[in-house]
Chains A and B, each alone.
Chain A
Amino acid sequence: DTAVSQTPKYLVTQMGNDKSIKCEQNLGHDTMYWYKQDSKKFLKIMFSYNNKELIINETVPNRFSPKSPDKAHLNLHINSLELGDSAVYFCASSQGLAGGQQFFGPGTRLTVL
């Protein structure tokens, strides 16, 4: 069974569009994260959610918004996509925000044309 899954695996879209990436974890964790890995391979945290509350919001544009319908899901909505949003986005989960062992999903490669 896949512990952390993401859909879609690949997403190609035009500038200005709005898109969503879904993430689900079946580990029973209460904290989920979104990371962005750019073309230079730097992996940076964007958001984390604990008990349906946004805990961390690093300096990301407000075009990005995480939505958590329940603690097993954390979806990433992106409005007005820009070329610079092209990257691989990883979802992760952990037990508690203070837990250091995070489990990552397989990633979603977003390409904005």
Chain B
Amino acid sequence: DAKTTQPPSMDCAEGRAANLPCNHSTISGNEYVYWYRQIHSQGPQYIIHGLKNNETNEMASLIITEDRKSSTLILPHATLRDTAVYYCIVRVLGYGGSQGNLIFGKGTKLSVKP
């Protein structure tokens, strides 16, 4: 089972920042937070991951609380093409076998509206 909790859906106006929350209150010290998204009828796409520091790349920013029990994915200027299901996943990095699996939950369906 997924170890994360996300709201089932969110709306965002085009051009505004989309802030997607994720709760992972049982996260272990060696587990990373990963974000993937799945645009309709496509395969999932990696977005970003982090351990405890905030991370930023060309797609998004990841803000992890100090206690690591929750995080927020930020899309700074959402476009219509960002409409997708966003998955927050906790995973042990550097660990093979089933413990290293990506376990996808239900995710958050983000709808970006014009």
The interface of chain A, by Cβ under 8 A from chain B, is: 4, 41-45, 50, 55-56, 58, 90, 92, 96-107
- Inter-chain CA distance A56–B94, complex, in Å, is 15
A97 near B97 with CB under 8 A, answer: yes
Distance, CA A30 to CA B44, complexed state (A)? 19
Cβ proximity bits B87-110 to A, threshold 8 Å, 1 near / 0 not? 100010111111011111010000
Q: Which A residues lie within 8 Å of B45 (CB)?
A: 104
* 0/1 interface trace, chain B 52-91, chain A, CB 8 Å (1 if under): 0000000000000000000000000000000001010001
B contact set with A: CB distance below 8 Å:
32, 34, 38, 41-46, 49, 85, 87, 91, 93-98, 100-104, 106
B96 near A98 with CB under 8 A, answer: yes
Q: Report which of A42, A50, A96, A106 forms a contact with B43, defined as CB distance below 8 A.
A: A106
In the bound complex, residues from chain A placing their C-beta under 8 Å from that of B94 are: 98
B104 touches A98 (CB 8 A): no
**Is the beta-carbon distance between B97 and A55 smaller than 8 angstroms?**
yes
CB of A26, distance to nearest CB on chain B (Å):
15
**Smallest distance from the beta carbon of B46 to chain A beta carbons, Å?**
5
Query: A41 contacts which chain B residues (CB < 8 A)?
Result: 85, 106
Whether B96 pairs with A43 at a CB distance below 8 angstroms is no
Q: Is the CB of A98 within 8 A of B93?
A: yes
> Does B43 contact A92, Cβ atoms closer than 8 Å?
yes
**Chain B proximity of A9: nearest CB distance (Å):** 10
**B97 to A100, Cβ gap below 8 A?**
no
B102 engages A102 (CB within 8 Å): yes
Closest B residue to A40 by CB, please name it: B106
Contact B49 A100 (CB under 8 A): yes
Shortest Cβ distance from residue B44 to the other chain A in the assembled complex, whole angstroms: 5
List 20 additional A-B contacts (Cβ < 8 Å) besides A4-B43, A90-B43, A107-B41. A41-B85, A43-B38, A43-B44, A43-B104, A45-B103, A56-B98, A56-B101, A92-B43, A97-B97, A98-B94, A98-B96, A98-B100, A100-B34, A101-B46, A102-B46, A102-B102, A104-B45, A106-B42, A106-B43, A107-B43
